[in-house]
Each structure stands twice: as C-alpha cells, then as structure tokens.
C-alpha cells in the first residue's frame, strides 16, 4: 500500500441513490484527489438520477443482494472452497456474534450469518482487487458485511452512521464500534452517542466528519415586492420523521389568514397517500404541489427559485429521527433561509435566529407563525441566508470534510500497520 494513495472499497446500502447523495460525493471527491476507490452496494443501484456520471458509477458497482440469492450462495461457496481457513474464521465470528451478541434481538441473529455469507460472496466478486481499507455508510447491513469482509481480508474497516441505522437498529453496534479502525461521526451529538455506547473506545477513533456538500456562489437576494405569492420549498422522503404533515397543516392555517404563500414539496415515500389526502381535505389545491422525486439538478433549480426552505423534522413514533439532513445543508449553501424542527442533532447546523430558524416539533401553530414572520421580513431572511451559507462553507463543505475523512483513513491504516509490526518482526526472527 502507498501511504499517500490507499486503495478503498466504499460500501453503501444503495449506491448511488437519490436520497444518499453524500455517499457518492465522497467517492467522487476522493477519486479527484487520486484515491483508488472501488464501490459496492447492498441493493441494486438506483438509475435515472439525471446524471451520466452517476449512471457510470452504477455500472461499476459490485452489487450484493441485487444479484439474487442463488448467486450469493454460489459465490460464497466458491470463496469457501478457495480459502477455507479464512472463510471458516468469518463464519465462526458471525456465529459467535449471533450467539453472544446482547445488543442483537433474537429474531435478527440469523441475519448476522447472512451478512457473513454476503461478505464471502463479496470476496468472490472482487477477488482480483487489491484493497487496503473498506468504509461503509450506514451502521446496520453495509457495516455488518464490511466488517466480516475486512476480517476475511485481514484489513481495516470503518463506517459512518446516520439516523435510522442507529436509532431503530443497534444490532451488534457496540462491537462494530470497538472493531472499527474509526467511526466517522456526522455530528458532535453522534460522537457523544458512540462514547456513551462504548466508553472504552478512544475518542481519537471517533472523529467528527460531516456529510459534506458543494457550496455554490452566493445567490442574489431579491426584495420581495412584486406582488406574487411567497414560494416555500420542502424536500425529503415522505416519511413521518420529516414532519411534512405539520407543514401541510401550517399551510392551511396560513391560507386561512390570507398569507400569500405557495409551497412545493419534492420527494416520494410511503406517506404520500396520507399527505395527499390531507391536502385534498384541507382544500390546498391552489397552495400546495407534490412534485414527486426529482433529480439533484432539479432540486437545485427549485432552491434557486424559492423564498424559504422548510423541513419541520420530528421524532417518529418508532423512535426514528434525522441526523443532520443533507438537504438542509444544501438549501443553506444555496443562500436559502431555512426553518427546521428543533431536533438536537440539527442544532449543530441550524442555530436559531443565527443560521436559520427552529420551531418546536409537531407544533403547527409555531411553524405557521415562523413562516409568516420570515416571509414578512426581507432583512431577516437576507441575514439568515448569508449567515447560513457562510456557516455551511466553514463547517460542512465537501472538500473540508473529505480532508477530515482522508486523515482518518490514513490514521486508521497507520495504526493497523503499527499493531502488526511486532508480529511481522517475530515471524522474521522465527
């Protein structure tokens, strides 16, 4: 391995995916810097994302489950025949994890064996590739497979945890944190979360690495005095934790108070039928449009044409909640003033009345009042949009955070090489 140019395997749940832009952005930025990066995905890559570059990335992805269970088991069996000792080591570890893993619910323990089998299949599919380190996004399935594959290869692994993969499913999470070379923490809240979970892990192995975004040139802020309705934009998966139900109800209240506002919501998801019916029952046909899924370029264009971005995040009944939504960073980077639900993790991005505006989760009245306040105050919107963009550029820009990630990769690899040095020395003496 070249110390200046390590070879990586990047592993995602679905790579590329419309809702996980941060994963492929890191891949592209690392490659631009000369890193050799292979890409793998648990599920079939998403296509039709409006980019030839992303289509090409999808073409090169090593897909695990998307190729079918028959091939998965055949490839794993081939690996077992070719390298029985290493394969047995992986399977033994997975079985031990399944039997002794106190953080793993009983009904999920067989899945650990499946993750080990998937790791053996991954080995067959990239057996001719030299890899120094594997990094996974999402702490559940991708990290589980990456961990067992790293064990097979005798290399290091790391991961980035986000939201549902931490809050809803913590299967084997303490062991994953302890075994990883490092865990990239997308916020200081996440760093404290891992420290509480595994107090014996050195904090140096829990670096804060944000999900970085590109920061375009500042947008010219026009004073809203042309008589048109104010334009509000919301972007995200249509799921409970995004709080779009609260936004829909707030729009109805604003309409009733004759506040001149229209809203467009970009995204799809399981809650669309409920949200659409709610909007219909509130007679919001002239106020609200659901645009469905859109390409990243289309989202950027919508951001350039809106007056205010709203994402009233909340905690779902399942316990799921957002980490730091990348789309909020993107809106702030585009010089758009933002309103978000007051979730602890989001406070690291949206500082109330400094870089954006926070409202109490699930509070329709407060959200409506905040929208009305900001839309009626051009000077405040301009101040928030400028400060928000500057803060994202300082703390959440892609180049800065990929530099942090690269530092963590090199430190993890160096520590691994150091720990193996005595063993190598004894082998030479023997």
List all residues 6 or more positions away from 318 whose beta carbon is below 8 Å from its beta carbon.
168, 240
CATH code at position 100: 3.40.50.2000
Same domain, 168 and 315: no
- How much of the chain exceeds pLDDT 90, in percent? 83
Q: What is the gyration radius of the CA atoms in the chain, in angstroms?
A: 23
Separation in Å, CA 229 to CA 308, 316, 372: 12, 32, 12
Claim to verify: residue 128 and residue 236 sit in the same structural domain: no
Q: In whole angstroms, what is the distance from residue 112 CA to residue 80 CA?
A: 17
Residue-wise pLDDT for 271-317, tens only, equals: 999 999 999 999 999 999 999 999 989 999 999 999 999 999 999 99
224 found inside a domain: no
Distance CA 24, CA 71 (A): 26
Q: 39-97, pLDDT tens digit by residue?
A: 999 999 999 888 899 999 999 999 999 889 999 999 999 999 999 999 999 999 999 99
219 part of a folded domain = no
Instruction: Give the range of the structural domain holding residue 380, as residue numbers without chain letter.
Output: 230-394
Q: Are residues 187 and 70 in the same domain?
A: yes
Number of structural domains (the chain) is: 2
- Distance (Å, rounded) from C-alpha 142 to C-alpha 41? 8
217 in a structural domain: no
- 205-217 pLDDT, tens digit per residue, is 999 999 999 999 8
Predicted local confidence at residue 318, as pLDDT:
86
Q: Judging by beta carbons within 10 Å of its beta carbon (0-12, 13-18, 19+), is residue 390 exposed, middle or buried? A: middle
In this structure, the chain runs to a length of 430
- Provide the pLDDT confidence category of residue 224 given band limits of 50, 70 and 90: low
Say whether both 25 and 123 belong to one domain.
yes
Same domain, 159 and 294: no
Rounded to an integer, what is the distance from CA 24 to the centroid of its chain? 10
Classify residue 218: in a domain, yes or no. no
- Within a domain: 253: yes
- Whether 221 is in a domain gets the answer no
- Determine how many CB atoms are found less than 10 A away from the CB of residue 9: 25
User: Does 199 lie in the same domain as 89?
Assistant: yes
Same domain, yes or no: 365 and 259 = yes
| Residue 166 domain flag | yes
Determine the pLDDT at residue 225.
Answer: 60
pTM of the model: 0.90
In a domain, 1, yes or no: no
Same domain (yes/no): 389, 405: no
Are 385 and 239 part of one and the same domain?
yes
């Amino acid at each position: 391995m070249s110390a200046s140019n390590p070879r990586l395997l990047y592993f995602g749940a679905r790579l590329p995916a419309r809702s996980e832009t941060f994963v492929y952005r890191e891949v592209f930025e690392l490659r631009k810097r000369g890193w050799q990066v292979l890409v793998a995905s648990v599920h079939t890559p998403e296509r039709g994302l409006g980019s030839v570059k992303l289509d090409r990335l999808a073409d090169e992805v090593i897909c695990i489950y998307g190729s079918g269970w028959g091939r998965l088991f055949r490839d794993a069996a081939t690996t077992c025949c070719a390298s029985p000792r290493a394969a047995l080591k992986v399977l033994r570890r997975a079985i031990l994890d399944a039997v002794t893993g106190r953080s793993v619910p009983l009904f999920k323990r067989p899945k650990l064996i499946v993750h080990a089998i998937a790791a053996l299949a991954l080995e067959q599919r990239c057996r001719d590739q030299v890899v120094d380190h594997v990094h996974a996004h999402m702490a559940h399935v991708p990290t589980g497979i990456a961990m067992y594959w790293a064990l097979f290869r005798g290399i290091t692994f790391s991961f980035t945890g986000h939201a549902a993969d931490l809050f809803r499913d913590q299967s084997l999470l303490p062991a994953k944190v302890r075994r990883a070379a490092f865990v990239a923490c997308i916020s200081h809240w996440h760093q404290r979360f891992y420290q509480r979970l595994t107090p014996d892990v050195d904090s140096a192995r829990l670096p804060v690495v944000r999900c970085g975004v590109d920061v375009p040139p500042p947008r010219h802020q026009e004073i809203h005095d042309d008589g048109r309705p104010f334009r509000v934009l919301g972007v995200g998966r249509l799921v409970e934790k995004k709080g779009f139900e609260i936004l829909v109800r707030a729009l109805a209240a604003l309409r009733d108070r004759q506040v001149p506002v229209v809203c467009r919501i970009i995204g799809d998801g399981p809650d669309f039928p409920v949200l659409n019916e709610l909007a219909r029952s509130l007679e919001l046909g002239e106020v609200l449009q659901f645009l469905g899924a859109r390409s990243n370029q289309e989202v950027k264009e919508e951001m350039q044409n809106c007056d205010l971005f709203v994402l009233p995040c909340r905690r779902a009944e399942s316990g799921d909640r957002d980490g730091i939504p990348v789309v909020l960073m993107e809106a702030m980077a585009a010089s758009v003033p933002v309103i978000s639900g007051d979730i602890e993790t989001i406070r690291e991005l949206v500082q109330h009345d400094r870089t954006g505006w926070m409202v109490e989760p699930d509070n329709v009245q407060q959200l409506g009042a905040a929208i009305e306040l900001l839309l009626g105050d051009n000077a405040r919107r301009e101040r928030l949009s400028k400060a928000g963009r500057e803060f994202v550029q300082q703390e959440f820009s892609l180049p800065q955070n990929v530099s942090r990630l690269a530092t963590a990769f090199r430190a993890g690899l160096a520590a691994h090489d150091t720990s193996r040095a005595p063993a190598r020395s004894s082998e030479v003496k023997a």
